[in-house]
Amino acid sequence: MHATEPVVRVRELRKVYALGETTVRALDGIDLDIARGEFIAVMGPSGSGKSTFMQIAGLLDNPTSGEYRFEGADVAHLDPDARADIRSRRLGFVFQAYNLLPRTNALENVELPMVYAGVPAAERREIALAKMRIVGVDHLALHNPNQMSGGQQQRVAIARSLVNNPGLILADEPTGALDSKTSLDVMHIFKALNDEEGITIMLVTHEPDIAAHAKRIVTFRDGHIVDDRENAERAA
């Protein structure tokens, strides 16, 4: 990919769901570029298309129509295997519910994407521990999810999202299950990953306090982008 090529470039992106006799235009013509090193918060009311957009941006689903280039490649019409391949190599995901495997310790959870990517075991361990150190959970390596707080589990999930050095991290309501102090801790981690590691982040939230940590805030409504602005406080 060319250095100036956006990580994400979408044009006229549409996603239409058929519901019996009616159709839902979950995305109704989205144009958006995300450059390397950006930290974007996606806001908007429930049902405005945020999760649908994250799923398509994250190659979990294809759009109905429109253009999507990820790291310069046309990815709008890939089959599920091709999408899975790019996901495992180039994308990191963080979910509201952490999505850690139960009865599996933190280290093994963080190693998992590298198992799929075919990284040798010794290297996996080293990389996983390094990423856990960055987010401050290396001391929890042998703990299972049920032995960790919500904030600790989300940090482990963030470490897991980092192991394949993704071009983009997608986080859908990553603080939605956390109290406000823990949410702040998690946002400081995302901020540091963006500021210090240069990682490109797109995060969905409906909380203005959370969006305020991003450098750019994009607002969805009824499947459209209705606002797209620099976060003046953070850009300064």
Which listed range, 45-53, 102-110, 124-132, 138-146, lies at the site for ligand ADP (CB under 6 A)? 45-53
Which listed range, 19-27, 49-57, 115-123, 219-227, lies at the site for Mg ion (CB under 5 A)? 49-57
Contact 144, 104 (CB under 8 A): yes
* Beta carbon of residue 55, minimum distance to ligand ADP (angstroms, whole number): 8
Residue 52 in contact with ligand ADP, rule: CB under 6 A: yes
- Contact residues for 125 (Cβ-Cβ < 8 A; gap 6+): 107, 111
Helical spans, DSSP H, in 135-179: 150-162
Residue whose CB is less far from ligand ADP, 55 or 144: 55
Which listed range, 16-24, 84-92, 131-139, 194-202, lies at the site for ligand ADP (CB under 6 A)? 16-24
Residue 51 in contact with Mg ion, rule: CB under 5 A: yes
Residue 49 in contact with ligand ADP, rule: CB under 6 A: yes
Residue whose CB is less far from ligand ADP, 19 or 235: 19
Q: Give the Å distances, CA to CA, from 99 to 27, 104, 153, 222.
A: 26, 12, 9, 28
The structure tokens listed for 183 are 């949410």
Residue 164 in contact with ligand ADP, rule: CB under 6 A: no
Residue 24 in contact with ligand ADP, rule: CB under 6 A: yes
Q: Residue 19 touches which of ligand ADP, Mg ion, none (CB < 5 to 8 A by kind)?
A: ligand ADP
**Chain center to CA of 144:** 23
Pick from 13, 40, 41, 44 the residue near ligand ADP by CB under 6 A.
44
Widest Cα–Cα separation across the chain: 55
Contact 206, 42 (CB under 8 A): no
* Beta carbon of residue 47, minimum distance to ligand ADP (angstroms, whole number): 4
Pick from 2, 20, 22, 46 the residue near ligand ADP by CB under 6 A.
46
How far apart (Å, rounded) are the C-alpha atoms in residues 69 and 209? 31
Residue 101, number of CB atoms within 10 A of its CB: 11
The structure tokens listed for 193 are 């990953």
Q: Give the Å distances, CA to CA, from 38 to 12, 81, 129, 201.
A: 21, 28, 26, 6
Pick from 48, 105, 161, 200 the residue near ligand ADP by CB under 6 A.
48
Residues that bind ligand ADP (CB under 6 A): 17, 19, 24, 26, 44, 46-52
Residues that bind Mg ion (CB under 5 A): 50-51
